[in-house]
Structure 1
Amino acid sequence: MSGMHDVFHVSQLRRFVSDFSSAVNLESIELEPNLTFQPQPARIVDRDVRNLRNRAISVVKVLWKGSPDGEATWELESEMMNRYPHLF
């Protein structure tokens, strides 16, 4: 990656269209004492097994507190079980 240029062509630019429905209320965000934000999981909504060539990886779909409706991320089941055992 060090050999790549950090520039882009003007044709890659797009007009910004503001969407006020996705605005975040700043008072609702709870910051840590060092001014960082660590989202907390609300619940697990789905499970899946991703098959690679010679192994299977268990993943879970996690809905996070404070995220807009319907937004969830796929996370490794082993990592979520270590960090948040109360979800299982």
Structure 2
Amino acid sequence: GVVRFFKKGKLSPRYVGSYEILQRVGKVAYELKLPSELASIHPIFHVFMLKKCNGDPESILPIEGIAFKDNLSYEKVLVQIFDRQVKKLRNKELVPVKVLWKNHLVEDATWEAEGDMKSCYPNLFET
């Protein structure tokens, strides 16, 4: 089978590698030369999934630094909590925290529920 990236199962960091374009396939797709670690991924990508390499090495994460499992998933590791907000609803409060994950850029930090982060990483919330 071919592994595809969906919203929940996509490769995050947003941009991985920098891969050579082998050929144009139709009007809006390209075939890429992928490394052997990504052999189970279909090599043809629609143009909206690609980003022009601007030569800025900070915007590209090397795939060698990411430990993939056999199904091409990887373990998310929390690096830092950036921010915390308290959102008041009618009768309860929601507290999201902005989290930076290992192998992700700062721009890709995500908002997660504080309760979920406390249960997974209790050492970060000890006072």
Matching residue of 1:7:
none
Residue 53 (structure 1) shift: 2.7
- State the TM-score, normalized to the length of structure 1: 0.67
Segments ≥4 residues shifted beyond 6 Å: none
Deviates more, 1:71-80 or 1:48-57: 48-57
Do the aligned residues in 1 keep the contact of 2:83 with 2:97 (CA within 8 Å)?
yes
Q: Deviations over 1:28-61 (max 9, x none)?
A: 0012355421210101111111122322111111
1:62 pairs with 77, 99, 123, which one?
A: 99
Question: Which consecutive unaligned segments of at least 5 residues does structure 1 have?
Answer: 1-13
Matching residue of 1:18:
52
Residue 17 (structure 1) shift: 4.8
Could you say what secondary structure the match of 1:53 adopts? coil
**Mapping of residues 42-61 of structure 1, within 5 Å:** 42-61=79-98
Could you say what secondary structure the match of 2:86 adopts? strand
Percent of pairs with identical residues: 37
- Which AA in structure 2 matches 1:40? V
